[in-house]
Structure formats: structure tokens, C-alpha cells
Amino acid sequence: MNTYPHERPRILLHDPTLRDGHHAVGHQLDADQLRAYAIAANTAAVPVVEVGHGNGLGASSLQIGRSKLDDATMLTTVREALTSSRMGVFMAPGWGTSDDLEAAVHHGADIVRIAAHCTEADVTERHLGVVRDLGAEAQGVLLMSHMTGPVELAEQCALMVKFGAQAVGIMDSAGYYLPSDVTERVHAIADAVGVPVIFHGHNNLGLAVANSLAAVDAGATVIDATARGFGAGAGNTQLEVLVAVLERRGAETGIGLREVLAAADIAADRLMEAPPSIDSIAVASGLAGVFSGFRRPVLQTAQAEGVDPIDLFLALGERQVVAGQEDLIGVVARKLKAAAR
């Protein structure tokens, strides 16, 4: 089936396997693992390979997990492996700094994404300007985007464009969206900005590929996806599946299907103990609208406090807890424990 009989739209697939995937392994990928996947992705002509701690530049810490390698080592390792693919990095103000951005570009980052909570695009102004001044491509993304509606997301994205973002978009950080949610939001953003629109999906409710297709149909031209869906919780949009589906629809990605399937096999063999799956915890996280990266600390805290992890996810959702508020997991768990007595 060719959905686009008269025109083959170009969809740029952005691969954060070596960044978002870090959430699934406690940020413990080593240099050999990074290198092996980067070489495979480069061979498959994946346009952008993103690398770093799961929470981005400067985020390695006791609070959210120390990475096995420092940022410089990760970036240098992947940069050396990419002969044609561009290298991307991710930074959220509050974890990373302008010094981190300067170092990342020095180590060869071509694309720098500055992230903010979905209603706080104003915090990206300074760092988007820094990226532009450094000569890298500046992009802006809104996290936990289900927490507000299409109008505000469009306004926030337009603000990031004003600050210098050359592409903007949304992350379904909790895997909460239905395709209709994506359609409304991406369409509103595409109408409000004159730069490429980004969509980043998670698979908690099994809809990451469907949501990515909805984003494309609504005007997004930059879609994030990882090998085997490697990522926090139920994982991300699965790269090799999305490449195949887009090929069936007649969209152009420039990625070799056989080669990206081989890269996915390398990811499965070298990066992860087991591919992400949609278990009860992943579903609870998606329904509650809680950041998928909370899976490990929620399970650990629930066990330590003797509470049901599903109840804990739902309670965190009611509190609208976001990444960076990991300390609240214990607080909420203890309240649940006390209420059950």
C-alpha cells in the first residue's frame, strides 16, 4: 500500500537508542556497546544518532543515577563511529549547563536538543541561544506534553522558535497518548511554527508506532525511534518497525531496511538483557501519566515500603510528578503505607 501515490514525503528519523535506552540499564552502557551500535546505525544510514546519559548532558548524579562513562567519553566514542550519520545530544536546563553544551559541540555534536517541561519553554531561551552561537543545530522539545493541551503546546513551541530553535516538538514522556491526542497536538504545533515538528513516543499503552504515524499525518517530519524500542519502561517507538511501516506507506526515510534490522539485532544482543515489554507496571505508568524513567525507583521504593507499585504509580500520577522529582516517590509511598494501616 502506498499512502502517498503522488509524493514521497521525507521523514527524518532521530535515533536516541544510546541516550533514552540508557534508562533501561541504569545508564551503564560501556564504550564497546556504544561503539558497536553506533557503527551499525551509521551503516544503516540512520540520519541522527543521539547519545548520553538517559536524562541528558550533565545529568549523571546520585539522585537519578550515575552513568558508567562520563559525557566526554560517550560523545567521543560515538563521534568516531559515525562517518555519515549526525550525532545528537539532549540537555534539560537544571541538569546541564552552558559549559556542557560547549563541551558537547567541541566533541562533535551536530544537533543539540534543549528540553523543558511542557509549560516552561521560557527556560530554554538562554541555552538555545548558546547552541546557535556554537554553530550546532538547535532544537527544542517539551517533556510530559500530555499535561497540557494543543493550544498551549503550540504557544510554547512558537516561543522556542522565537528563541532560535530550528525544530520543535513534543515528547510523550509517559506513553499516555492515543493517536487522536497526538493528531490534535501536532497539528496545532505545525500550524503555529514554520520549522520541522518533532514527535517522540513511548510504548506504555502499545501505541508508539501508531502515535508516530498520527504525528506524521498531522505534519511532523522528525520522528524519534530506538532499536528494539530500547528505552525506559515499555520502551520507545521501535525504529526498525517504524522504518518498515513508513516504507509500506510510501514515505522516504533514507534508511536501509536490512541494515536497520541488523542494527536492531546488535542492540538486542549487545545493549539489553531483554527487549522492553508492556507489563502491568508499564501500563500503570502510561495510564497514570508518569514518566517512564520512574520504573526502577518506583519498584525499588514499593518493595522497600511494602506498597503496591501500581498504587504508587497512580498516586504519583495524581500528584503530577515529573522527572527531577524522584525524591517524592518515597514521600508518596510512605503516605500510601500509612493510609493502609
User: Alpha-carbon dihedral of residues 117, 120, 123, 124, nearest 10 degrees?
Assistant: 70
Give how far the C-alpha of residue 63 lies from the chain's centroid of Cα atoms, to the nearest Å.
20
Q: Is 23 a catalytic residue?
A: yes
Residue 237: closest CA among 210, 268, 259, 219: 210
Give how far the C-alpha of residue 279 lies from the chain's centroid of Cα atoms, to the nearest Å.
20
Tell me how far apart the alpha carbons of residues 284 and 94 are, in angstroms, rounded to a whole number. 28
CA within 13 Å, CB half, 227: 33
Cα 22 to Cα 65, 74, 233, 303: the distances in Å are: 10, 12, 11, 23
Which residue has cell 501500581? 310
**Sign, CA torsion 338/318/202/14:** negative
Residue 255: closest CA among 227, 229, 220: 227
All cell numbers assigned to 193: 511554527
Tell me how far apart the alpha carbons of residues 220 and 296 are, in angstroms, rounded to a whole number. 31
Q: Which of 23, 53, 107, 117 is catalytic?
A: 23
Tell me how far apart the alpha carbons of residues 279 and 204 are, in angstroms, rounded to a whole number. 8
For 341, other C-beta atoms within 10 Å of its C-beta total: 4
Residue 56: closest CA among 183, 197, 171, 167: 171
Crossing angle of helices 31-43 and 71-81, in 10° steps, is 30
CA within 13 Å, CB half, 208: 35
Cα 339 to Cα 167, 172, 297, 316, 334: the distances in Å are: 46, 31, 21, 15, 9
Please identify every residue annotated as catalytic: 23
